[in-house]
Amino acid sequence: MTFKELDLSNQLQYAIEDLGFENPTPIQEQAFSVVRSGKDVVGIAQTGTGKTFAYMMPILRDLKFSNQKHPRVLVLVPTRELVLQVVDEIEKLSKYINTRVLGVYGGANINTQKQAILQGQDIIVATPGRLYDLGLSNALKLKSIQKLVIDEVDVMLDLGFRFQLMNIFDILPERRQNVLFSATMTEDVDELIYDFFKNPQKISIAVSGTPLDNIEQISYNVPNFFTKVNLLNHLLSDKETYNKVLIFVGFKRTADYLFKHLEEVFGSETCVIHSNKTQNYRIRSIRQFDEGNNRILVATDVMARGLDFDNVSHVINFDTPDFPENYMHRIGRTGRAEKAGKTILLSTAKEQEAKEEIETLMDYKIPVLELPEEVEISNQLTEDERPREDREQSKNRTGLEYVPGPAFHEKSEKNSKVNLGGSYRREIAKKYKKPKTRGDKNYNRRNKKK
């Protein structure tokens, strides 16, 4: 099927043609008529299959022009980066449509966002926390919402947004269409659907754990962190092959540590994002990587979840994720829109069990390659890799267990004073010759005469 065979408006068709797309992805094709029907929809599809267009094309197809100030469509996503991306995608699709769209998220001035809302909006894209704050402040009226879209809902629940979601549901009108998209169907997601959706129609494109056919997967067994760094330096030195590389790590600390070592070799070609970075820094890193100004991006799982980067040549898993589903989300950053992609998994001996769980989930054995001869096997270990007895102890403690005891010094003179109560007050009265009876004018006058 081509986009011309979908019942798109001329304005949407023009926008699709400008983007150079000819064929919808399976999720876009199957979701179009279901979302347009007005029924509640649950879509399960791997990342990189065009879910944003899948729900926005039918919504924009039927969104009539209106001068009303209050929004009619609400899209909830888990991170600020996804807010910016979804807004950008909507603006591309609505290039020839008079549609007002606004993204709101934490970390930005809420008063500026309130003023933008008061100008009048058709579509609001938001993170749950900031939307809840705007709803409580009464700056955002949600009673006119006709369609609610929750994208990457499994990540939202993992990030602890369940409380905000429950409260948002309470202030939304009951008569609305609910559209939910997720890469995985967890128990929490299933419970959310059961509680708030009315006979939803499910669209499942790929079972969670099914590797995308257009992604080539390989792996290396690597003894330690610094050997992984040496392998990365060797691979990334081939700039023609590794022209746009996304490197995943599990923790913010690891991201900073790896970035520091890569920056020493590749300089300004490298950038990093994680939640401890400022909003401007994160936006700049994403933009520079997406536009090709930076060749290498180091990222944590949550930060890059759902982000759409064009033409990522390789996804490198610097560590092996503990949860096999996270591996699927990672590799979905390449091979997007049915393009070819390549992924590399680096695993130490301790990570082999997690790797086996990934292979079990996918029902696929990831080929293992021998380390290139040029890669030096490092004997240097990180603090976490050293045996417990060899780890550096804090210089503020001895090797013995610290047991607090009584103070060993005498109290200073000023701290040795005791409360003298009334006698102390009498001494002060003598010193400053205070009257024995307060307010006794005659007593005070007699003393002055003497």
pLDDT band at residue 403 using 50, 70 and 90 as cut-offs: very low
Vertex 34, ends 30 and 39: CA angle to 5°? 150
Plot region of 335 (φ>0 → left; ψ -120 to 50 → alpha; else → beta)? left
pLDDT band at residue 277 using 50, 70 and 90 as cut-offs: confident
Q: Which residue has the higher pLDDT, 257 or 388?
A: 257
- Mean pLDDT of the region 189-209: 80
- 413: tokens are 């003179």
Task: Kindly state the percentage of the chain with pLDDT values over 90.
Answer: 47
Minimum mean pLDDT among 57-61, 62-66, 155-159: which range? 155-159
Q: How far apart are CA 278 and CA 213, in angstroms?
A: 37
pLDDT band at residue 93 using 50, 70 and 90 as cut-offs: very high
pLDDT digits (tens, 9 = 90+) for 283-312: 888 889 988 899 999 998 776 666 778 889
pLDDT band at residue 445 using 50, 70 and 90 as cut-offs: low
Residue 248 has pLDDT above 90, yes or no: yes
Q: Are 220 and 344 in contact (CB under 8 A)?
A: yes
In this structure, the number of other CB atoms found within 10 A of the CB of residue 91 comes to: 12
- Mean pLDDT of the region 252-263: 93
Q: How far apart are CA 274 and CA 281, in angstroms?
A: 10
Q: Which residue has the higher pLDDT, 207 or 235?
A: 235
Q: How far apart are CA 118 and CA 141, in angstroms?
A: 10
In this structure, the number of other CB atoms found within 10 A of the CB of residue 154 comes to: 23
Residue 354 has pLDDT above 90, yes or no: yes
- Domains and their CATH numbers in the chain: 3-204 (3.40.50.300), 215-378 (3.40.50.300)
Instruction: Give the global pTM.
Output: 0.68
pLDDT band at residue 261 using 50, 70 and 90 as cut-offs: very high
Q: Which residues face 29 on adjacent strands?
A: none
Q: Which residue has the higher pLDDT, 113 or 206?
A: 113
What integer pLDDT is reported at residue 114 of this predicted model? 94
Q: Which amino acid is at 385?
A: E
Average pLDDT over the chain, rounded to an integer: 84
pLDDT digits (tens, 9 = 90+) for 67-87: 888 999 999 998 888 899 999
Residue 244 has pLDDT above 70, yes or no: yes
pLDDT band at residue 213 using 50, 70 and 90 as cut-offs: confident
pLDDT digits (tens, 9 = 90+) for 311-325: 899 999 999 998 887
- 343: tokens are 């992924």
Task: Kindly state the percentage of the chain with pLDDT values over 70.
Answer: 82
pLDDT band at residue 412 using 50, 70 and 90 as cut-offs: low
- 421: tokens are 């109560």
What integer pLDDT is reported at residue 53 of this predicted model? 93
Q: How far apart are CA 449 and CA 432, in angstroms?
A: 18
What integer pLDDT is reported at residue 99 of this predicted model? 93
What integer pLDDT is reported at residue 391 of this predicted model? 56
What integer pLDDT is reported at residue 401 of this predicted model? 44
